Each structure stands twice: as C-alpha cells, then as structure tokens.
Structure 1
C-alpha cells in the first residue's frame, strides 16, 4: 500500500490531539511574557527530526528487548487512553518534570511537542499504518506547530479561552476512541499469534 489519505488523516488527528499545540498556547505565551525566546522554526524542525528518528530507531529498541509491535501498540493504546482522560476530565496523570534549560528544546520540543505520548503513538501506529503515511501526517502537524508558534497572539484572539477549552475536550474524546480501536485491533492480532 502506498500513500493513503485515510491513514494520513488518522495519523494527523492522533498526533494533533496528543501534541495539543492549541491547548498549549497559554504556556507558550507565558514564556514570551517572561522574555524567553521561543524559536518557531527550530521547535518544528527539532520536533520533526526527533520524532522521525524515534519512528525508526524505536522499533530497533523494541527488538532489543524482544517486544513485538502489537504488544507495544496495546501498551501505547493504554497510554493514549490515559492522556485522553486527562484532556476530557482536566486531571493530571503525567507530570511535566522536565529539567530547566533551553526554552525551545526544553520544554517546548520535549516534552510539550515530542513527548512520551507522541513517541508511544508513533510506534503504536506502525502496527497499522505505512511509515510514509505516518511521516506525512507528522509533517503536517509540524507545519501547524510552526504556524501556531509564529502567530501566538493571533491564535489566542482567534480561538479565545473558550475555544481552546472546547477543542481540548473534543480531541480528547476522539483520542479516546482511537485508543480503544488501537487496543482492540492489536489485541486481536496478539491473540491470533498465541493460538498459532
């Protein structure tokens, strides 16, 4: 299978919900108000490179620990499900405990954009989607990240506090549905491998 619009759209939605760049607008604005430099181009490029590298190297790491992609996908589905619960119910399960450092690299690139959730999702999606489609979906997300970081004040005015809140809840529900689908489809594959 080559380029698939459906797969690209699915990847885009999952990563868009996980990265939650619109929901992070207040955090980005807070850095600007403190006089800390946030470089939109660097943030997008670094994030794309890190996540693309993990998409390929991550599977080698799994083989090193003798873990198949379907098993990792099920574990990933559980992580994505928990993130969706955070988004929908406004609770904190994963605490941002990143060390202080460069604002663009930490915490903008990691863990706000390229964090544990996106890493898990990328490897989990390898169990269902073509790598080329995942990379294209990721690229579209990085374009949006760049545009949002480049036009922070405009985005805040455009969406408003209520708009950001509604989008976070909406994509939380979508993410929960995707997590359930990812879990059930890969559980079926795993159970089939045991029965053989």
Structure 2
C-alpha cells in the first residue's frame, strides 16, 4: 500500500510538473516583464501562481463533475487528454512553445495588458489546457469522502509544482545566466519525451476503461 502511494505520488507530481514546464513559463515571463523592476516582477510571479492555483484547485475538485454534467465519460476525456498532452510533448521535443499553451497573438497582446499575471502567465502558460486536463484525469473518482489520500496527493503535487514554478520565475535572472539556449533545448526535449510517455499511459488507461475486454 505504501509503495503504491509513493508510486502514485511520483507519477502525479511528475505529470503536473512536466506539463506546467516552469522553464517554458520562464521564457515567457522574461519577455513580458522585461521592462519591470524586481519588485514588480515578484508581484507578477506571485499573483500569476495564485491565480493558476485557484484554477487548478477548482478543476481538481470539480472537473469530473463538470464532465458528467456534459455527458462526457472520463475514459473519453482521458484519451482526448492523452492526445493533447502528446501534442504538447511533441512541441517540447522540437523546442517550441506549444500553441496549446499560448499563441503568438496572446503573447503580443500581453505586452500592453494591464494585468499580465492572469493572462498569459497564469492562463494559459501555467494552468493551461494541458495542466487542467492532467489534474482532471488524475483526480477521477477521488473526493474528500472517496480516496481522500489520493486527492490530497494531487493537491499537494499542484501546490509543490506552483511553489517550484514561483521560485523559478523569481530566480529568472540567475537561471538565464546559467542556462543558455542550447541547454534549455536539451532539457525541454527530455521533458517532452517524458510527457509523451505520460500521454501514452493516459491513452492506454482511457482505452482500458472504455474497453475492459481488451485487458481482461
């Protein structure tokens, strides 16, 4: 039982952390806060992470209920989420910012936006479609009354990911000096490969749930 919880914890944390991709968020963060002082940059990072946390908390707790409301089975959503994450992973392997996270138009419009913390930093960079899909798939069939430990693990993974992302963002100047573009591309590609593997596992799980006779 303990080993299962440890494995689940590692899987949940790695899934959320990789799809959030703090280094990818860092590049966008640098570009939209280029002309700000250190204090304002910290405020942007803190507020962005808080908004992203609220979004992910909502979908972790109520995502499955929303799917049921629209008549969408969790197996169908799991397969669709796996396909989406696979596409994001492919973009990471090619060292490009995924269009599922942020389009060129959103990045351009954010330059003069009054509140760049919410758009595009919190959404769609940190709590984008891929991250929302991940927490919904992970939290399926979990609640405070049913499998509360697993739900706590997911919420803890979200919190830890946001803490890591925040410290990456506020350390942007030091990280940018130590990690050049070539090193970033290598790291991004490795994370992309891992995300693709997680996406394939999501697809396998979704198909197994929809067609249990295939795995019996």
Normalising by structure 1, what TM-score? 0.88
From the superposition, tell whether residues 189 and 141 of structure 1 become closer, same or farther in structure 2 (CA, over 3 Å). same
Once residues 175 and 69 of structure 1 are traced to their aligned partners in structure 2, the CA distance between those partners, rounded to angstroms, is: 20
RMSD: 2.4
Cα distance, 1:57 vs structure 2: 2.1
Structure 2 equivalent of residue 27 of structure 1: 28
**2:94, 2:188 → 1: CA distance?**
10
Q: Which runs of 5+ in 2 are unaligned?
A: 143-149
Alignment of 1:1-196 (within 5 A): 4-35=5-36, 37-38=40-41, 39=43, 40-90=45-95, 93-94=99-100, 96=103, 97-98=105-106, 100=110, 101=113, 102-127=115-140, 130-192=150-212
The number of equivalent residue pairs is 194
Q: Show CA shifts across 1:62-111 (max 9, x none).
A: 11111122221111111101111111124555352546431111111011
SS in 2 for 1:23: helix
What is the CA distance between 1:193 and its match in structure 2? 7.9
Deviation per residue, 1:31-70 (Å, 9 max, x gap): 2223384422222222112101111222121111111222
Mapped partners of 2:188, 2:209: distance in 1? 31
Is the Cα–Cα contact under 8 Å of residues 50 and 114 in structure 1 kept in the other structure?
yes
Larger mean CA deviation between 168-177 and 178-187 belongs to: 178-187
Q: Which runs of 5+ in 1 are unaligned?
A: none
Provide the C-alpha distance between the structure 2 equivalents of 1:13 and 1:128, rounded to a whole number of angstroms: 20
